[in-house]
C-alpha cells in the first residue's frame, strides 16, 4: 500500500528562517565593527619643540587594529552558517562569540581607562623627541563597536540555537551516500513528508511513494518490478 505524501506549505522556508536571521545579525554586526574602525577614536596634540603643534586623529583601525579583520571574520561566518551543519555549526557559533569578545575588549578598555599619552605616541609612531600634550577620547565610535559586539553575541546564540538538521545548504549538494542515509532516516521516523523531502528522496534514487514498511512494495515478495520500481504480486 502506498502512502500519499502531504507537502507542508512553507515548511522549507520556516526551517531555514533561523539561519537567515543569524546571517542577518552577523552582517549587521560586521557593518558596525567596520564603521567603527573608520571613525576617529582618539584625538591628540603633540609637540616636538621645533615647530607648531601637530594634531593627531587615530581611527578605530589604528587604535584597535583587529577591528577590520574581525569584521571580515563575521562576514566569513555568514557563508559558514549556510555551508555547514551538525557539530560544525556549534563550532561556528563559538567562533563568532570569540570574535565578538575580541572586538569588544579595546572599546571597553578605552571607555574605562581612557587613552594614555604613551599609547598615543606609540600608535601614531611619533619620533622620540615628540611629546603628547593633550588627548581627547571620542566615546561614540567605541560605543558603536560595543553595540556590534552585542549584536555578534546575539548572532552566536542564534547560530547555536539553529536546529542542526535545518542548517546548511540544501541536501542536493550532499554526496549520494549522504542523501541515501538521510532518506533512510526519514523512512524510519515520523517526520512530515514535505516537497523538499520528496525531491531529496528522488535525488537519492529512492521512490518517495513507496511505503518502506510494506514488503510487497519493497520487493520482498516474488514478482517482477513494475513501472514505479515496486514489485507486483504474481497473479
Q: Where are the domains of the chain?
A: 11-161, 170-235
pLDDT band at 118 (very low <50, low <70, confident <90, very high): very high
Q: What is the mean pLDDT of residues 7-23?
A: 67
Q: Report pLDDT for 1.
A: 44
pTM assigned to the model: 0.67
DSSP 12-35: HHHHHHHHHHHHHHHHHHHHHHHH
Q: Report pLDDT for 51.
A: 78
Give the CA-trace dihedral at 80, 84, 89, 92, to 10 degrees: -30
pLDDT at 80 over 60: yes
Specify the higher pLDDT residue, 34 or 186: 34
Length of the chain: 235
Specify the higher pLDDT residue, 39 or 218: 39
Q: Report pLDDT for 203.
A: 65
Neighbouring C-beta atoms of residue 141, cutoff 10 Å: 24
Cβ-Cβ contacts under 8 Å for 115 (sequence gap 6 or more): 41, 42, 44, 63, 135, 137
Q: Report pLDDT for 223.
A: 47
Percent of the chain exceeding pLDDT 70 equals 63
Residue owning grid cell 532518506: 183
User: pLDDT tens digit string along 131-176?
Assistant: 999 999 999 999 999 999 999 999 999 999 887 555 444 444 455 5
Q: 93-115 burial, b if ≥16 CB within 10 A, otherwise e?
A: bebbbebbebbbebbeebeeeeb
Specify the higher pLDDT residue, 77 or 187: 77
User: pLDDT tens digit string along 30-79?
Assistant: 999 999 999 999 999 998 877 788 899 999 999 999 999 999 999 999 99
Q: Report pLDDT for 201.
A: 66
Are the C-beta atoms of residues 71 and 34 closer than 8 Å to each other?
yes
Q: What is the mean pLDDT of residues 184-198?
A: 58
Amino acid at each position: 500500500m502506498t502512502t500519499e505524501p502531504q507537502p507542508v506549505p512553507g515548511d522549507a522556508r520556516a526551517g531555514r528562517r533561523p539561519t537567515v536571521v543569524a546571517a542577518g545579525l552577523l552582517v549587521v554586526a560586521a557593518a558596525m565593527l567596520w564603521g567603527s574602525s573608520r571613525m576617529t577614536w582618539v584625538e591628540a596634540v603633540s609637540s616636538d619643540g621645533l615647530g607648531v603643534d601637530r594634531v593627531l586623529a587615530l581611527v578605530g583601525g589604528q587604535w584597535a587594529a583587529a577591528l577590520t579583520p574581525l569584521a571580515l571574520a563575521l562576514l566569513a561566518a555568514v557563508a559558514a552558517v549556510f555551508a555547514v551543519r551538525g557539530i560544525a555549526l556549534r563550532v561556528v557559533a563559538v567562533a563568532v562569540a570569540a570574535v565578538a569578545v575580541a572586538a569588544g575588549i579595546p572599546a571597553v578598555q578605552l571607555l574605562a581607562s581612557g587613552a594614555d599619552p604613551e599609547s598615543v605616541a606609540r600608535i601614531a609612531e611619533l619620533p622620540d623627541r615628540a611629546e603628547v600634550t593633550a588627548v581627547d577620547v571620542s566615546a561614540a565610535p567605541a560605543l558603536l563597536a560595543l553595540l556590534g559586539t552585542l549584536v555578534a553575541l546575539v548572532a552566536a546564540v542564534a547560530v547555536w540555537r539553529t536546529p542542526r538538521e535545518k542548517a546548511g545548504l540544501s541536501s542536493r549538494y550532499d554526496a549520494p551516500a549522504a542523501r541515501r542515509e538521510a532518506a533512510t532516516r526519514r523512512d524510519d521516523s515520523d517526520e512530515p513528508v514535505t516537497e523538499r523531502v520528496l525531491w531529496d528522496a528522488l535525488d537519492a534514487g529512492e521512490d518517495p511513494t513507496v511505503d518502506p514498511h510494506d514488503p510487497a512494495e519493497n520487493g520482498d515478495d516474488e514478482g517482477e518490478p513494475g513501472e514505479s520500481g515496486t514489485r507486483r504480486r504474481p497473479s
